[in-house]
Structure 1
């Protein structure tokens, strides 16, 4: 079975955005929630998953994660608004 690779954005409770990469979205979201995810997200939960995209290769996902991290917050907000529906419902319909 092929592994999927995800690039995702979380909206933190302080309205900041965190962009990350994972090959196991649910486990990574649970790590953020438990305070064991990225240093940036510690103490900033709960989170809303506002964007995610699935890639077949790690290289492609990491390349796109890098490009997204270079965007300003305004550009990220525009990206989120224009790419609604990319997150599987079981992840995006709840707070993490």
Structure 2
């Protein structure tokens, strides 16, 4: 049976000023892992300052597709998408 919990695409502001996008079904726990140096390799080298936003998806596959698309957007469009200012396609992928 599939996990009924939604997956989330999240965006972090890192100490070096960069943005980091990831997915999780428990964003708070994932953020704590990043902040403690147990997250992704990138955030171990560039610790997060804060969570900028999240967007929910029905499953991991949809969140992964949205993450892939988000990582290809320019910085300003990444923020606009997660803050709800930019449209997504029917699958929730940014840039529609």
CA RMSD of aligned residues (A): 1.9
1:63 aligns with 2:78: no
Q: Secondary structure at the match of 2:17?
A: coil
- Check the 8 A contact 2:12/2:48 in 1, yes or no: no
Q: Unaligned 5+ residue runs, structure 1? A: 85-96
TM-score (norm 1): 0.74
Which protein is richer in helix relative to its size? 1
Name which of 23, 26, 34 aligns with 1:24: 26
Q: Unaligned 5+ residue runs, structure 2? A: 86-96
Q: Larger relative CO (CA 8 A, sep 6+): 1 or 2? A: 1
In 1: Cα distance, 2:62 partner to 2:51 partner: 21
Say how many residue pairs are matched: 83
- Check the 8 A contact 1:51/1:83 in 2, yes or no: no
Distance 1:77 1:6, change over 3 A: closer
